[in-house]
Amino acid sequence: MQKPILLLLIFSLNFCFSQTEKDTYGIYSDIINGLVKDWFDSPIEGIIIVEQYEEKYKQDFSLINELTFDTIPSTALSWYVQDSIEYRRFTNDKNIKKILADLFSDFKNHPKIQSDLLNIPKVKINKLTSKKYYSYINRGKKWKKKGWKKLSEKYNAKFAIQFSTIKYRENYASFYYEYLCGGLCAAGSVVLMEKMGGEWTVLREFNLWES
């Protein structure tokens, strides 16, 4: 009797892992495809994926973290909450508070991206280690502009992107991503997603910084 139960447990764990992996790469792919669609009127040849996100510069989650408080301060509400529907959700839905808190309290152990699991049609994905990526752009603003020019020309890439780990809770997910598309073309955002009808959709994207 013990053997069938053990086999069932192993099967269940493997299924959960593969399903989470499928969700994760589906979400990463949706973000990239959304940027390509929104930014470019014609097909592009390539992009750069940073293999594993490293927090080179400490992210300031302090204001957005206030959305996780039992009583949300008015500054956070006025800055991030757009309408009365969002107000009710952010103040009443504990899972929204928790999924954001999960990300901010455990912002580490970011995964190595397997580019072959991404679904980015007709776009070449150039995967770079974090060390190699920052060797081009991590020497001040002037170098960043020149470094991006060299990087984009070498890989024929329109932008570079990197992702944090994705946190899951119930039907919600949260993560951080940032992109670079030029010397003064970069941004970082926290994304809150909701699974509805079996599909992940962006519930809210919070811009943390941009240049």
Please give the pLDDT value at position 186. 92
Q: Is pLDDT of 179 > 90?
A: yes
Per-residue pLDDT of 102-155, as tens digits, reads 999 999 999 999 999 999 999 999 999 999 999 988 755 555 668 899 999 999
Contact predicate 32/110, CB 8 Å? no
Q: Is pLDDT of 18 > 80?
A: no
Give, in order, the Cα–Cα distances in Å from 161 to each of 84, 91, 109, 127: 33, 32, 18, 10
Q: State whether the Cα torsion 70-74-76-78 is positive or negative.
A: positive
Question: Among 8-22, 54-68, 75-89, 126-140, which is the least confidently predicted range?
Answer: 8-22
Q: Whole-angstrom Cα distance, residue 72 to residue 142? A: 40
Give, in order, the Cα–Cα distances in Å from 31 to each of 133, 144, 180, 208: 20, 24, 14, 16
Please give the pLDDT value at position 126. 97
- Residue 162: CA atoms inside 13 Å, Cβ hemisphere, count? 21
* pLDDT-derived band at 182, boundaries 50, 70, 90: confident
* pLDDT-derived band at 205, boundaries 50, 70, 90: very high
Please give the pLDDT value at position 116. 94
Alpha helices per DSSP H over the chain = 2-39, 62-65, 74-80, 84-92, 94-105, 130-137, 140-155
Please give the pLDDT value at position 12. 46
Please give the pLDDT value at position 6. 46
Q: Whole-angstrom Cα distance, residue 45 to residue 75? A: 42
- When computed from its CA atoms, the radius of gyration of the chain, rounded to whole angstroms, is 19
Q: Is pLDDT of 67 > 70?
A: yes
- Please state the rounded mean pLDDT for residues 185-204: 95
* DSSP assignment string, 125-168: EEEE-HHHHHHHH-SHHHHHHHHHHHHHHHHTEEEEEEE-PPEE
